[in-house]
Every structure is written in C-alpha cells, then in structure tokens.
Amino acid sequence: MDPIQIISLTLGAAWASGINLYAAVLVLGYLGATGNIVLPAELQVLTNPLVFGAAGLMYVIEFFADKIPGVDSGWDVIHTFIRIPAGAALAAGMAQGLEINQGAEFAATLVGGGIAATSHAAKTGTRLLINTSPEPVTNWSASIAEDIAVVGGLWASLQYPWVFMAVLALFLLLLTWLMPKIWGALKRTFRSLRNIFKGRRLPDTEPQSTNGIKVELLRTLYQDSAEKDR
C-alpha cells in the first residue's frame, strides 16, 4: 500500500471501530489474510483464526442485539469502553505501516481515538433518539445501514483514499454542527421520560403499552420543543 492508502485506512479503521468494532476487525482481518492488504506487524494478529473467530462470534451477537430497541442502546453504552480504545489501537497499528517514530504513532493514537469517539457518540445518540420512535423498523434499518457503511467505508478508504478522506472530513464537520442538536434532543427526551414515569402526563392509572409510551414521549418532545422555540 502507498502512504496515502495507509493514512486513509488508518482513519477508516478508527471511524469504523466507533460504529461496529467487530465488523471492522473482520474486514481488516479478511483483507490481511487474503493478501488484499499487507497489515503492519502490530496488526498481523487480526489474521489469526482465533481472533477472526472471536470477532465473528461477537459480530453475530451484536448483529441481533443492535436491532432490539433498548438493548441496542445498552450495548452501545457498554461498548463506549471498548470501541474507543480499540479504534485508537487500530489507528496506531495501521500507522506503523508508514514506519513513523513514537511521537507520530502517539499522535495517530490520539487522532484514532478521537475519530472513534466521534463516530461512536453519533451512533449512540442517534440510536437513543430512534428508540423514541413508534416505528420499530427504524432500528433494523439503522443497524443494517451502519454495517453496510462500515464495510463500504473500509473498502472506499482502500480503493479511493482521497475521496474517503474528503467524505470523512465532511462527516466530522457535519457532526460538529449536529452534536449540540442531538445532545439537546437527548436532554429533552430524558426530561420527557422522567415526566412520563412520574405520571405528570398520564391521567389514567392503567399502564401504557410500549407504543403508547413512545407516542406520549413524542408528544411531550414536540411540546417541549415548541415551548423552547417561543
């Protein structure tokens, strides 16, 4: 691989890890095992059958957990402590292909961790908002789209490095603008949930169904947003 491909794949591995770490490990391990890319010595372990099998098993578990409302958000919260460090480690390992010094490797670790944290935060926040929707198919759609994005993104980072890096830069700029809005929406969501479970908007004493709570939550969110815009 030429230096531009290595840089692009370094950024791509970090970005993909924040969305679906196990899919990223599977793709990199497969590409390394089949000779499509030459992994740096630090990442040759990804081609080990045991690592490949463990990543495959965890991917299958995540494939189903990621599509169940509520479970997906819990899974994302737990993986805050896994995806970000792993993204930083993958970025540092990929950067070794440039034969860089320790200072540059540490910089790659910081950048990789930052990108992984950004993509992970975007996924986690978006999923929390999706879970307030009464339309259950959105979880499946979002999960499948994320898996396709990870595989497609890593492929693009290798085949079209300049295009991938340009799209990644736009993605990061867009998130810089979107994250405050997502955070504000999440705060309104949690406030509305608190109000619902305290009974402030439940005049009857009978428990509501899941869809009923979601509809009530959306109504509360709309009212809170309207009050904020005044």
pLDDT tens sequence across 118-171: 999 999 888 887 877 666 558 888 899 999 999 999 999 999 999 999 999 999
Same-domain status, 120 and 215: no
Same-domain status, 151 and 222: no
Same-domain status, 196 and 82: no
pTM above threshold 0.75: yes
pLDDT at 216 over 60: no
Q: How many domains does the chain have?
A: 2
pLDDT interval class at 103 (50, 70, 90): confident
Same-domain status, 104 and 214: no
Q: What percent of the chain has pLDDT over 70?
A: 78
Quick: pLDDT tens for 17-59: 999 999 999 999 999 999 888 898 889 999 999 999 999 999 9
pLDDT at 85 over 50: yes
Same-domain status, 159 and 192: no
Kindly give, in sequence order, each residue whose CB lies less than 8 Å from that of residue 76, ignoring residues fewer than 6 positions away.
120, 123, 124, 127
Instruction: Check if the beta carbon of residue 92 is closer than 8 Å to that of residue 109.
Output: yes
Same-domain status, 114 and 201: no
DSSP state of 209: P
Burial class (CB in 10 A: 0-12, 13-18, 19+), 145: exposed
Same-domain status, 130 and 100: yes
Same-domain status, 211 and 153: no
What is the residue range of 213's domain? 186-229
